[in-house]
Amino acid sequence: MRMTRRQALRLMGSVAPVMAMQGGVGRLLAQDSANGVEVTPGRFTGTRPSLKAYTIPDWFADAKFGIWSHWGPQSAVGDGDWYARNMYMQGSPQNLYHVQRFGPPSKVGYKDLVPLFTADRWDPDHLMDLYVKAGAKYFFSMGVHHDNFDLWNSKYQKRWNAVNAGPHKDVVGMWCAAARRRGLRFGVSEHLSNSYDWFAPSHLSDTTGPLAGVPYDGSDPAYADLYHDYTGQPADFAKTAEAMGRVAPDRWKLEYFHRIKDLVDSYQPDLLYTDGGIPFEEYGLSCVAELYNVGPLDRRGNTEAVYTSKTAEDCAEGTCVLDRERGVADKIWPVPWQTDTCIGQWHYKLGQKYKTPKKVIDLLVDIVSKNGNLLLNFPLPASGELDLEEMSVLEGITAWMNVNDEGIFGSRPWKINGEGPSMAVKIAQSSFNEDEQPDMGPADIRFTTKGRTMYAFVQGWPEKQVVIQSLGAASPQQPEKVMDVRMLGRNEALRFTQDATGLSVNLPGEKPPTADLGITLRINFA
């Protein structure tokens, strides 16, 4: 049962369960450090030893599939990801596009593009209905990207937030309400920790041409609340700052903490995604503790919130869920993890070629078979309305899920995750390796289980027969005796034989409408 913290405390009759649960200390744990970082009292503090006591909630292991709206002012330009940085990098494709469409960045800067983010056709309830039909069990809103623009009514970023600029709407709040009305878990993503050095090119100028030496608008102190104040940094900081370097003064780290704490406290999300590892040590660790201390609780008083980090060391013991951006694993992992990816670019790009529904389903079944979840971004344009090609991808996923989702949600891995030719392809063990994952066909099979039932995802239509070698009597997996086999979407029992070489299943003659994306066999053991 899903509960708010207040409901859980009322049920348990006192605040005792959120008192210090570690080491039997009978007082509320809070962090009130000399540098201004204060965490809401609760079980966790912003220290690694404290956060190691965290355990991943069962709901996340059951959920398997989430949808993300990676959406903000950069989306409104329609030229893809990292536009707010690259528009200031002379000679880059996005800089050339910017100069042609809007003019040089010393005259038309990123601040001048924010009004293009209108959300004039955005209907979060309609979109959430589509995402629920597609099988999403959780939904993510962008909270703030590297562009330093908060998508909620931010207490600490007054001028550059979605209520006071751009669409003049509480984007996070409206997404949150739509998701929770439909029973979805709600998450927010923050990319703010990288913003300080990511935005450094806005303080440069052209090095050649008629405007050489004329500063870009990031150098104007009047806009330091958007482009950052580099007072105290070396004179060449804007030239040497790395996009994801996270080099920042303590004053910026404290602002980061206050803004993410405001985001967490305002919406009490079920999930918080950070673009990278836990940043800035105490400041970032305190954000994790804040999420867990104010987020939802189960009936036993344990947090049900989930924080994701892209650094394996962060999540090696408790603390968080490991996220692999555009990355898949090579084997079953002992604890739940997540892949985050997109059907195209992260921010909307006109003319982008999207992943096909087949590619998405191939990724989904492979990830789930390895104890992972798939978080899939559908980038929205300025209007907030999916384009026709995106709708086609979503409809394909929906059609397959309507038949096969029984084997996805609430499932757990089997002894091995699958078999077939795609299993022989070795991929780099890192993020951004999804393109190394080969396309799958009828000979590629992935496995999940629920109790005494196995689900075998056959990633294509094999015409007459499926042979699962891993279920052969001589298989190293030592499978149990199969008693019944049926194809999801059909009620009839299928004819099969199980011998030393494998389980051979005869398929019905009629090809199902979604068979090209894959079929699923429900296999019951004795």
pLDDT of residue 175: 98
* Cα(220)–Cα(439) distance, integer angstroms: 50
Q: What digits encode the pLDDT tens for the residues 23-37?
A: 322 233 344 455 789
Residue 19 vs residue 526, higher pLDDT? 526
Beta carbons of 517 and 357 less than 8 angstroms apart: yes
What are the residue ranges of helices labelled H in 52-170?
58-63, 73-77, 83-86, 93-101, 124-133
Based on its alpha-carbon atoms, the radius of gyration of the chain, rounded to whole angstroms, reads: 25
Length in residues, the chain:
526
Residue with tokens 């200031």: 88
H or E, element range at 259: helix 250-267
CB 161 within 8 A of CB 152: yes
Side chain identity at residue 366, one-letter code? D
Among 146, 128, 272, 271, residue whose Cα is nearest residue 197: 146
What is the C-alpha to C-alpha distance for residues 472 and 295, in angstroms, rounded to an integer?
47
pLDDT, tens digit, for every residue of 481-512? 999 999 999 989 999 999 999 999 999 888 99
Tokens of 204: 């440069």
Q: Where does the pLDDT of residue 405 fall: very low under 50, low under 70, confident under 90, or very high at 90 and above? A: very high
Residue 20 has pLDDT above 90, yes or no: no
508-513: long-range contacts at Cβ-Cβ below 8 A with a sequence spacing of 24 or more?
511/461, 512/403, 512/461, 512/487, 513/399
CA 172/CA 139 separation, integer angstroms: 11
Q: Are 272 and 259 in contact (CB under 8 A)?
A: no
- The chain-wide mean pLDDT, for the chain, equals 93
* Residue found by looking up tokens 């194809």 in the block: 487
pLDDT at 21 over 50: no
Where are the extended beta strands (E) located within 294-392?
A: 306-309, 321-325, 337-342, 372-377
pLDDT value at position 34?
55
CB 139 within 8 A of CB 182: no
User: Is the pTM of the predicted complex or chain greater than 0.85?
Assistant: yes
Looking at residues 373-396, what average pLDDT do you find?
Answer: 98
Q: Note the pLDDT tens digit of each residue in 235-246.
A: 999 999 999 999
Domains annotated for the chain, with CATH where assigned, are 58-203+213-325 (3.20.20.80), 418-525 (2.60.40.1180)
Lowest-pLDDT choice from 83-87, 361-365, 476-480: 476-480
Compute the C-alpha angle 402/405/409, nearest 5°.
145
**Own/partner pairs, 60-63, CB within 8 angstroms, 24+ separation:** 60/271, 60/306, 60/321, 60/336, 60/373, 61/336, 61/371, 61/412, 62/137, 62/409, 62/410, 63/137, 63/138, 63/185, 63/373, 63/409
Residue 419: both structure tokens together: 């078999």
pLDDT of 358-374, one tens digit each? 999 999 999 999 999 99
pLDDT tens readout for residues 99-110: 999 999 999 999
Q: What is the pLDDT of residues 451-463, one digit of tens each?
A: 999 999 999 999 8
